A and B are shown apart, each in its own frame.
Chain A
Amino acid sequence: MTTKLFGEPVQRREDPRLLAGHGRYLDDLGSGALAVAFVRSPHAHARIRDIDVAPALDVDGLVAIYTWEDLPERVGRPLPLLIPHPALTHGRTAYPLARDVVRHVGEPVVMVVATDRYLAEDVCALIEVDYEPLKAVVGLEEAAHGAALVHDDVPGNVGAHLVQEVLSAAGRGAAEAIEAAPHTLAFRLDIERSASTPLEGRGVYARWDGTDLRVYSSTQTSTSVRMAIAAALGLPLPHVEVIAPDVGGGFGVKIVHPWPEEILVPWAAMLLGRELKWTEDRREHFIAAAHERGQVQHVRVGFDDDGRVLGLDVTILHDHGAYTPYGIIVPIITATQLLGPYRIGAYRVEFSAVYTNTVQVTPYRGAGRPQGVFCMERTMDKIARYLGKDRTQVREVNFIQPDEFPYDQGMIFQDGRPLIYDSGDYPRMLRMVKELIGWDDFRPAPGRGIGIGCYVEGTGVGPYEGGHVQITSDGRVHVSTGLTSQGQGHETVFAQIAADRLGVPIERVSVVTGDTRRFGYAVGTFASRAAVMSGNAIALACAKVREKALRIAGDALEADPADLTISEGLVHVAGSPSASIPLSTVAVLANPLRYAFDEETAKATQFAGTASPDRPPVAEGEEPGLEGRGYYSPIRSTFAAGMHAAIVETDPLTAEIKVVRYVVVHDCGKLINPMIVEGQIHGGVAQGIGGALYERMAYDADGQLQNASFMDFLMPYATEVPRIETGHLETPSPLNPLGIKGAGEAGVIPVSAVIASALEDAEGIEIDRMPISPSELFDLRGG
């Protein structure tokens, strides 16, 4: 029998390649390409008076300089607003190169092509741009005040305003429910900016051969980049190929597309007839890509003596930066996922997404959920504190119960569909996490505290993904799917699924992702969706291949396909392994040939005597080859959940904060590979620790980012990340054949809430802002 693979901790098959330095990242490609660099705005807000390129023209090695005025109409248009929403009444996107006004430091103004990057940067340094500085709008309060405007035609700087309200069972609105509640609390919460900051920045490499354009991009969505490039450059889709090579992390920032560079580099490559490459450097990534988090929340809550929430009213001010290419997905997720594992009496949420003269805000791993969870979990802790109850007790009385699924929260989720939780067991999860951390035995002491945070995460959003599976005459299985990989382990888990479904050794399975030459239909990798979407699509494709293989083998073995099974790559009668035929032979038989190339293919040629002379070689309704394609398109998202707990210690003198224990109980439905899920959790928690204790984008009042380097933007090192203990709970999703939910973002989501909870416990002071540094804790203590 083939070893069971689904659910097993199979070692990551991509690691030998990636860890030994054999990965092929964007900058490893195109060694002969011309280099692109950009002159970027040094001002947060300014009008461009003049651009003088003359001083730069003498640089030896300069090839071309382009400003907005050089762009053809189609290329020079504002970038697309990717996700329109009726509430986004004033959506604004940037021009690929600034047209007349720059709205954040780092906005591209001039594009330079030279023989190498050194020279391109020398040219950039010599180009003189004359700016008329305008008032910079920085910070949520200033933006909301609306005295100065980021966009002249966006009054009050408000890009979007959205209210959602869910009435209580008794038909009460939130305001009324809070008013009528025995107890009420009101408070303000602040979360600062952070960013994806993958180790590999963005990058684009383009080749034009006169007919066809091939573009490599360090992207989370090659199929969409392809469509965007074809549209902007006016090329027929079949003449554009986009490939995501090995990608060194994405975490959300690379789902945004097309980046200006993804349009400009291919355009100039076509114009110049030369290969062109742009590789983003770290400073560019800080000031010219995207950030996230960044909210102020005003909360009012009404509750009863048990801590049951009767009404919750949250008003969110969301910093959207200078542009909204990705729509208002982030604040929508905050507003809807805020509810977590709880049934809230009545809920009203209102957000305003405001523009500031800072880098645009688009999803970063967690995508609005960390803010929402921070809000709800701070609320739970405050209720417990107010009532003098154990914090887990208050959560427990508010939990949705296991027999209430599917549970309709009565809202519209980020995919435009009802927010209906598919499955879960929150009380059991709480018991597990309490046991793992030893909640009931914990004895608080000054400078030592315990904290908890719970969340629900909508994962696996649609619209669809597809998979293609082909068995070739050498018995190898080739799996491809259109969404992209950034190191998550897709090559392993998709191979596990295929090997499991087809009954072949995993060594014979290879997986290709993100290459439009191999699979043209896809949405992309985001929203913890790859395993759910492509995993199920590949399973469906495998089912088709299996069914065909059994049919062909049945003919060859003169057996009923229903009696056949496949193991170790052999099709055989169940219980009778002697009557068997290898899948390699089935693949040969599936493809009738005129010409032979080797011994195997000879068996499929017309005089081999294997085919009936009375039937067409390819039967009606059949296709040659042993391959199949499957698409998975879910009715709505699956809802994973998790609960984290931590113990922190603080130094009474230096106010240093140490996380001494961190535990995670996690439910992503059926586990394909528990080791990979744990790896995802570890990485997520590490980013969460960053968001809770280290990372912030420190803009000054002029919109200059004060810490645009890894020296001053404090991404935690391994030394700052605690050992993470994990437990798994499996409540299979009823929505998909594999019963799985997403796991990609889970680790990061509740960390700020958990650390705040533990710090509050340790220090006895309320923690309402994240991140928190020793200096800030010192201030909170009263200096």
Chain B
Amino acid sequence: MSVLSVVEISEGKIKKASVEAAFYGSKVAEGLGTDSIAVVLGEASADELATLGQVGVKNVLHANDARFNNFDSKAFAKAVGEAVSASGATVVSISFNQNGKLLAPRLSVRLKAAYVPGAVDLPVFSGASATVKKNVFSGKASAQYQLNTEKKVIAVNPNSLSPVRGTGTASVEAFAPAVTDADFSTVVKSTDKIVGEIPLSEAELVVSAGRGLKGPENWGMIEEMAHLLGAATACSRAVADVDWRPHHEHVGQTGLTIRPNLYVAVGISGAIQHLAGVNGSKVIVVVNTDPEAPFFKAADYGIVGDAFQVVPKMNEEIKKLKSAH
């Protein structure tokens, strides 16, 4: 018996979301009194993978195979399925990120395992079954999912647990799943990544703005705040739809769902569809001229005021704070 975490590599580095999934896996293993194992598909250095020991991983199964450098759901599900057999895992932990949202359900079918998509807490075991909390109805409620099979797949909602790093070092073992070239069914032609910016889905701090900013030319102060904080920028649907901001910045029900530690919303009214994408954030700050804006009901801190006056002042104060620390 063991707990297996699926760890993704991007450009040779372990993805932040995967560190959390591995930490989650280690916590589950600790609760069950068993080993935390990780599987890594794709090229990476042994030194990088050994750092998984810091979040409690004992052993890493590493398929150091360039074919896995790009994600292919069919090949990945097959390879991880083999890792489950090899490690004797009864619980698999995967990040509920872009790739995990597809890999986890595929894997669950392969293992005929009960699956919880987007767990926000650790499972509670009771005999052969386990119960895991997940958010439902776009964050308006939560549900306890009961997993009624021997094997269980848990996809962990990003930013649900804060990984605590220790000093351990994981051992790394070569892993050669029997995946043939024919199992790779998709071919990557090109990628279009925003360079030099923090990807929104990985960001711990997010600064977002909406129609209250009146025009795309006014985003300079929002970008400045993001830069000062080391935050990503986001926007409401309304401004993405009129092309004031790129679509990949749109958070909300039909856009991206994020759960950063801090979400600063400037000039966004907070319609229910927008809240659905951000209400898992730990701390929400709202700046709006309208005291009746529904966003204030979901906010931890609010300023009723004009963004064009408040935001530059915030930037000044952040500068002071950063220079003092």
A and B found bound together: no
